[in-house]
Structure 1
């Protein structure tokens, strides 16, 4: 069985490795001319870390990541609202890992090249479309056509594969917030194993945590009513003025963190709209499906974006190895990820008390899911 994967991000690379572990060959079609360690930090939940351990990457992941033990919730005057254990300390069998997205991607890329060979990743191969037949699927790219038995669209929130599978209206749903993001070059705060969420006035919220390598990741969420943001037309990954961003926290008083330093020691500050899409009624066909952000873009709360892509990879490889096909993969993962999309929306809109309830409920469900495997 030959598999083509559109996109060599975290989801696509994890899928190639999971398939290879089950004796299934995959080739990745990446639009970028060169893969580099770009981006800021992400969190991988314990169930995603477990999958990378099972792919033989646990030690390498731990070497480049921080492993938070708690997440603390504060008001902007420094009052601790509540504390939630994470990872091993939260009762899971694996740690939570906070890591630079680009470093994680390079780790996965190196494993793919080592195990599948350098020809498994074709760069400059932006997917333009595909044609299905009873015998397979032909994928049109910027460097020519490729044929395979199955195509996996792991090409992100602006997925070409998704747009071809679902050509009707499929708008981004705006949360009402803009995110400013960066990775500061500074020592880790508190005990170096704490994530923090700080609730500021007027709905402004800071999420920050160490990600290893002398970096502290941060996201500042700011309510906004810009019509361009509502439609999802605003620029993605657009540079922002660090001084202006830092000024949004001028009146904050945290004795364990200098919020101005957090912003101004970042190599770059970017802004993004916080958007998702409504869950699809189905993902694909007998030969073409979706994975990761292409399948289920979600608000970046609850540390679920990259984690769910890695879980998709495991489920897809299992379904194909067991002869259940793409239908079996979709039947398992579509309802699970749709539930996470809705849970993330609820979590974002929650008050501190409600957030404590939502996170506790999610933790109980995840622990139950882990014990049932």
Structure 2
């Protein structure tokens, strides 16, 4: 089977590696950009995605570029702790959770594809237009502005915007809390996220709030941000353990992005075409799931093709799961604990237990793990999607 992959991002490259591991030898990635460069800022890879990359033989390389996340902690806008939990190996998973630079991960996958499939397996400067291809199957992994998706659903239009804007940046800064903590602070409307990437000295941060008027380009992750504007919105967010405006003001790079997603689709596959990753199910960046879900798509698609000869099992498993996740993220996913704390105690609290009881906080976290596919027991016990 000759397989063409549209898109050389994380999803497309993970698909090439997964197909190769499943025994498919004729796989080519077409990337529209003339050169694949390490763009972007930080992302998180949750244990279910790390499991798949480990089974692809990339555990050592991944450990070399990532910070092994120790905890996830939520705070209100005053810096008071709302909820925290261990992550990765510390939470009983058989695989760690990593915070990595998106570009570094993309180059890691690119190197592995070229090593295993050959230097010609990734062809840059080649754009897949619509549904035209010269293989037996076209995999549309070409992102939120997918040309393949647009050809399948020509009436869809631009991705819908929810009224919020994200500013994403990286800053060289000293460690905070455990040194491997991922933190989120906010009130359900305005939010700040931070975690270390690289060697741990570079802090990735995300600032989020409502935006008045029409947003700039939807789905462009690389639009430069005005740092002074961002600092002004978070000027009083100084905590004992983190100076938020100081972190923003000294960023080495920052980008502006309207929070958009895509509507769930009635189908992903038609004839000799199938969608994957953001092209299939772009979702709000809530719960750190975008890249992880694309990697899981890749593995399940390869397994489906290798074991059944079709994409039907892939779509049957993945489309309902990601649809539920898209909808959960629209409701703030596990981050809803910050909104609840603010609604019930807007000026802060003396005892979080009296505001959002432990059982409620733990239940929210556990429910999201089940929806997103990384409940610890279920993930540890699930059979592998490797086929040989």
Give the structure 2 partner of residue 176 of structure 1.
163
* Pairwise CA distance, 1:188: 2.4
> Does structure 2 retain, via aligned residues, the 8 Å contact 1:40–1:217?
yes
Partner of 1:210: 196
After superposition, give the CA deviation of every residue in 1:23-72 in whole Å (9 maximum; x if it has no partner): 10310000010111110000011000000000110111011101112111
Q: Does the 8 Å CA contact 1:51/1:311 hold for their aligned counterparts?
A: yes
User: Superposed, which structure 2 residues align to 1:189-208 within 5 Å?
Assistant: 189-199=176-186, 203-208=189-194
| Equivalent residue, structure 1, for 2:253 | 268
CA-CA distance at 1:236 after TM superposition? 4.7
Cα RMSD (Å): 1.9
Conserved in 1, the CA contact under 8 Å of 2:145 and 2:219?
A: no
Instruction: Name the structure 1 match of 2:135.
Output: 148
Give the equivalent residue in structure 1 for 2:349.
none
**Aligned equivalents of 2:8, 2:364: Cα separation in 1:** 33
Which of residues 374, 378, 381 is equivalent to 1:369? 378
Greater per-residue strand proportion: 1
The match for 2:174 is 187
| 1:21 alignment counterpart | 21
Aligned to 2:75, the other structure's residue is in SS state: strand
Kept in 1: contact 2:183–2:195 (CA 8 A): yes
For residues 294 and 197 of structure 1, the distance between their equivalents in structure 2, rounded to whole angstroms, comes to: 27
| Counterpart check, 1:96 vs 2:83 | no
Which residue of the partner structure matches residue 359 of structure 1? 365
Are the equivalent residues in 2 in contact too, given 1:286–1:327 (CA < 8 A)? no
Aligned to 2:386: none
Runs of 4+ residues deviating >6 angstroms: none
Contact 1:113 1:120 (8 Å CA) reproduced: yes
Distance 2:107 2:162 in 1: 31
2:110 aligns to what?
A: 109
Partner SS for 1:282: coil
CA distance in 1, matches of 2:313, 2:108: 29
1:170-207 alpha-carbon deviations (Å, 9 max, x no partner)? 5422222100000112232122111101115x821001
Structure 1, gaps ≥5 residues long: 132-138, 140-146
2:345 counterpart residue number: none
- Counterpart of 1:342 in structure 2 is 327
- Separation in 1 of the partners of 2:303 and 2:193? 35
Question: Can you give the 5+ residue segments of structure 2 that lack an aligned partner in the other structure?
Answer: 341-355, 384-388
Pairwise CA distance, 1:265: 2.8
Q: Name the counterpart of 2:308.
A: 323
Aligned to 1:227: 214
Contact 1:112 1:120 (8 Å CA) reproduced? yes
Contact kept? 1:286, 1:326, Cα under 8 Å: no
Query: What are the Cα deviations for residues 194-245 of structure 1, in whole angstroms up to 9, with x where unaligned?
Result: 1101115x8210011111233111110111242346xx75865211111221
**Cα deviation, residue 286, structure 1:** 2.8
TM-score by length of 2: 0.87
Moved more, 243-252 or 310-319: 243-252
Shift of 1:363: 2.7
The corresponding residue for 1:143 is none
Structure 1 residues 79-121: Cα deviation after superposition (integer angstroms, max 9, x where no partner) = 1112122111222111111100000000000001111111001
Comparing 76-85 with 266-275, greater Cα deviation is found at 76-85
Partner of 2:77: 76
CA contact (8 A) 1:299 1:341 kept: yes
Q: 1:305 pairs with 290, 301, 312, which one?
A: 290
> CA separation in 2, counterparts of 1:235 and 1:369?
35
